[in-house]
A and B are shown apart, each in its own frame.
Chain A
């Protein structure tokens, strides 16, 4: 127990690292996933096929392989990356971790939002068309806002999964909660105390994030519950 109390500041810093990596990946992944899901639904074949392959690959392989491919695999292309001036980025485990998590969540979110777009009631799209909207305006004003509301519960799950999956970055030496716990545990041999404490932090964060996302869901989907409450 003393070991945990002595290392509380380190755990606090590590919690911030976990939250930071997850938040960056969720944010960029979200921004990538929205246009990709529209391309999957409405884009021309030569665009929607690569997007399909992207989601298929990143959803069909373990995240650990993706992290290793980017972190270790980039070493095989060191000269090319040097020539492009990108090697500095790929040298940092932090960058590789964020890149892998971002691509992974982008792939999952694209499929989730695609399902959301397909779930938009046809009548609403017809109504928008009848009002004279089409193309980008139709998507921006009607389809995407509605699709996000439909997809929100699934997207919540994806964010939770990503938060937990971010623990894998500790394998490539990023000092997140799992990384710090591993280091303290191997130095002090207090394996179960430290890992149980790490597990407790994760549970707190997970249910905290769930609470926030449920609040958002209630708010954005308030119109669904009118009269039923």
Chain B
């Protein structure tokens, strides 16, 4: 039981090669007042992990919003085939756990490419780096969720305004850019906020493909110090802080977007 915690001893930790984190550890261990926040010298590692978590989250969110807009556009397409594609995308993605999709992309896609290329007779060997695989998968998954958010927001824009725009001679694309999109964003804001909250927590899953984000940093620190509770709890508090800040930003953004709107 618990092999990776018992596998490491304290002596083991002291004898580790002087890596970046170890050097920081030796530097800070003697200054008593910083010890609490420093988490035995692993504070900087956790913060670096938190930075990467936010970075991964923001990149994935940008992909998700982009895919969401494309997905919504497809859902209102005149072509039955395009609508079918969009419906399949949202139905399938929302039915499969994120972890399975991450593993599928990280391990499955390279082997699929290898197999297919071998079939053609020109074998190529590819491997994805964890960052690309993680951001792409998370973005792809939450693209399906934001597609639904945008679809709802699109339907909330009054039809009369779109007709009015067309009556003024605007094309479909121009109507979308000038009339629909700016108003839609206001309706989509609460939904997108929810997507972001779920997404940032889902980034923890990328730690299973070894990307050194917050969870992975906490994992490394807790193995080395044999204090798993301390470090995973610290990590959870950082996630909590990210959630609280996101909440505040969302409230601010919603208030700002609702400027000039008469409330009932």
Instruction: Enumerate chain A interface residues (CB-CB to B < 8 A).
Output: 56-57, 60-66, 68-69, 71-77, 91, 164-168, 170-171, 178, 181-182, 185, 189-192, 195-196, 198-199, 202-203, 206-207
B143-157 contact mask (Cβ, 8 Å, vs A): 1 or 0: 000000000000000
What distance in Å separates the Cβ of B225 from its nearest Cβ neighbour in chain A? 10
Report the separation of the CA atoms of residues A16 and B112 in the bound assembly, to the nearest whole angstrom.
Answer: 29
Known contacts: A62-B202, A65-B236. The answer to whether A72 contacts B112 by CB under 8 A is no
- Ordered by A's residue number, 10 sampled pairs between the chains whose C-beta atoms are within 8 Å are A60-B244, A61-B243, A69-B229, A71-B2, A74-B229, A76-B230, A189-B111, A192-B112, A196-B104, A202-B100
Count residues on chain B whose CB falls below 8 Å from chain A CBs. Answer: 44
Known contacts: A73-B233, A164-B96, A199-B101. The answer to whether A91 contacts B239 by CB under 8 A is no
Given A65-B236, A76-B228, A191-B108, 7 further pairs, Cβ under 8 A: A62-B204, A62-B215, A165-B97, A170-B99, A181-B100, A192-B104, A196-B104
In the A-B complex, the 9 residue pairs with the closest CB atoms: A192-B108, A73-B229, A62-B204, A72-B228, A164-B97, A167-B97, A203-B95, A62-B201, A60-B243
A77 contacts which chain B residues (CB < 8 A)? Answer: 229
Report the separation of the CA atoms of residues A73 and B111 in the bound assembly, to the nearest whole angstrom.
Answer: 36
Report the separation of the CA atoms of residues A63 and B222 in the bound assembly, to the nearest whole angstrom.
Answer: 18
Interface residues of B in 228-243 (CB under 8 A from A): 228-230, 232-233, 235-236, 239-240, 243
Are the C-beta atoms of B96 and A203 separated by less than 8 Å?
A: yes
B100 contacts which chain A residues (CB < 8 A)? Answer: 167, 178, 181, 195, 198-199, 202
Are the C-beta atoms of B2 and A72 separated by less than 8 Å?
A: yes
B203 contacts which chain A residues (CB < 8 A)? Answer: 62
Interface residues of B in 99-126 (CB under 8 A from A): 99-101, 103-104, 107-109, 111-112
Cross-chain pair count, CB within 8 angstroms: 128
Assess whether B205 is interfacial by the CB under 8 Å rule: yes
Assess whether B227 is interfacial by the CB under 8 Å rule: yes
Assess whether B48 is interfacial by the CB under 8 Å rule: no
B92 contacts which chain A residues (CB < 8 A)? Answer: 199, 203
A190 contacts which chain B residues (CB < 8 A)? Answer: 111
Are the C-beta atoms of A206 and B95 separated by less than 8 Å?
A: yes
What distance in Å separates the Cβ of B210 from its nearest Cβ neighbour in chain A? 13
Report the separation of the CA atoms of residues A68 and B212 in the bound assembly, to the nearest whole angstrom.
Answer: 16
Are the C-beta atoms of A64 and B205 separated by less than 8 Å?
A: yes
Report the separation of the CA atoms of residues A165 and B92 in the bound assembly, to the nearest whole angstrom.
Answer: 16
Are the C-beta atoms of A69 and B233 separated by less than 8 Å?
A: yes
Q: Which of A56, A189, A195 contacts B103 (CB 8 A)?
A: A195
Known contacts: A57-B240, A62-B215, A195-B104. The answer to whether A68 contacts B232 by CB under 8 A is yes
Residue from A66, A71, A72, A167 having most chain B Cβ neighbours under 10 A: A72
A91 contacts which chain B residues (CB < 8 A)? Answer: 1
Report the separation of the CA atoms of residues A76 and B204 in the bound assembly, to the nearest whole angstrom.
Answer: 22
Q: Which of B97, B111, B222 contacts A178 (CB 8 A)?
A: B97
